[in-house]
């Protein structure tokens, strides 16, 4: 069914081996280098790769991919990987019609079509997560990794240390939205994509000490100062949940603003 399709075509079925999980089969453009080296002849069978999507109370996630975030539902995972491949070999190709329409016997084993209909509105939304908001530092015209590093240095060496606040961090095609649910510092802030110029983890790999005593990776994004066309502000954060790693957030933000 998939061997004759174009790269990115895929099928998702309930896993028979892992209860509550899903099996993802997808067509890729070329097999892994290890397959090239070990096999000769017809490689068509090697162009269909298989992945396991595990399910937990936190959501669904590609198993064995540490930089992949959890998604709230299967349709959100599918649509996000149709925008950017993340850990997959290529982007998923959302079919205009159900891929298995021409295979009636298999139709009952694939819940994808209905799930996509239910979750179509999530096509451009990253699974939002909670992070620690640390500080915002004005950078004048500085951007890039130097702006992140400088802001972190100023924050960590300040006479009055910053107090971290839990905020809801959501990325979409419209930009980055921060929500302080407890309204300790603010209610909601939105940074349109066209104002965000850079996002990355700390170039010096410094850590933030969380209230529970554990170290957390620092990251941040640089955005235009409101009302200015030249001045920037570095907004700093730290990981709160290791299942929502800073690298995954940074990678996605970078792709959205790229």
List, for residues 207-246, the tens digit of each pLDDT value.
Answer: 999 877 789 999 999 999 988 888 999 999 999 887 788 8
CATH class of the region 129-257: mainly beta
* 3-class DSSP assignment, residue 230: coil
Euclidean distance between CA atoms 203 and 151, whole angstroms? 11
Residue 42: pLDDT over 70: no
Q: Assign 35 a pLDDT band (cuts: 50, 70, 90).
A: low
Beta strands, E only, the chain: 10-14, 22-27, 48-56, 59-62, 129-140, 165-172, 175-179, 188-192, 196-201, 207-209, 215-224, 232-238
Q: According to the model, what pLDDT value does residue 98 have?
A: 46
Residue 6: pLDDT over 80: yes
| Phi/psi of residue 144, nearest 5 degrees | 75, -170
Percent of the chain with pLDDT over 70: 82
Out of 110-114, 165-169, 225-229, the most confident range is 165-169
Per-residue pLDDT, averaged over 137-148, amounts to 93
Residue 96: pLDDT over 60: no
Q: Assign 17 a pLDDT band (cuts: 50, 70, 90).
A: confident
Residue 11: pLDDT over 80: yes
Indicate the domain borders of the chain.
10-122, 129-257
For 79-89, write each residue's pLDDT tens digit: 788 888 888 99
Euclidean distance between CA atoms 189 and 167, whole angstroms? 10
pTM for the whole thing?
Answer: 0.58
Percent of the chain with pLDDT over 90: 31
Fold of 10-122: SHC Adaptor Protein (3.30.505)
Q: Assign 4 a pLDDT band (cuts: 50, 70, 90).
A: confident
Cβ-in-10-Å burial (0-12, 13-18, 19+) of 91 comes to middle
Return the residue matching tokens 């640089």: 222
For 125-134, write each residue's pLDDT tens digit: 455 788 999 9
Q: According to the model, what pLDDT value does residue 15 have?
A: 83
Taking Cα atoms as reference points, which of 19, 244, 24, 52 lies closest to residue 115? 24
């Amino acid at each position: 069914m998939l061997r004759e399709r174009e790269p990115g075509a895929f099928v998702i079925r309930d896993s028979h081996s892992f209860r509550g999980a899903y099996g993802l089969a997808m067509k890729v453009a070329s097999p892994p280098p290890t397959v090239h080296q070990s096999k000769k002849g017809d490689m068509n069978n090697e162009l269909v790769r298989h992945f396991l999507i595990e399910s937990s109370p936190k959501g669904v996630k590609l198993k064995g991919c540490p930089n992949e975030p959890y998604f709230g539902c299967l349709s959100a995972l599918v649509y996000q990987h149709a925008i950017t491949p993340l850990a997959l070999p290529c982007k998923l190709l959302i079919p205009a019609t159900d891929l298995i329409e021409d295979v009636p016997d298999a139709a009952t084993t694939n819940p994808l079509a209905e799930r996509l209909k239910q979750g179509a509105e999530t096509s451009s939304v990253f699974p939002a997560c909670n992070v620690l908001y640390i500080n915002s530092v004005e950078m004048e015209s500085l951007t890039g990794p130097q702006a992140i590093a400088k802001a972190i240095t100023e924050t960590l060496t300040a006479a009055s240390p910053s107090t971290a606040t839990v905020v809801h961090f959501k990325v979409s095609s419209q930009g980055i939205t921060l929500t302080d649910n407890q309204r300790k510092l603010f209610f909601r802030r939105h940074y349109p994509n066209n104002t965000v110029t850079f996002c990355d983890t700390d170039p010096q790999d410094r850590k933030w000490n969380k209230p529970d005593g554990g170290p957390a990776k620092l990251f941040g994004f640089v955005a235009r100062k409101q009302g200015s066309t030249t001045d920037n502000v570095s907004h700093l954060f730290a990981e709160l949940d290791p299942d929502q790693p800073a690298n995954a957030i940074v990678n996605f933000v970078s792709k959205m603003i790229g």
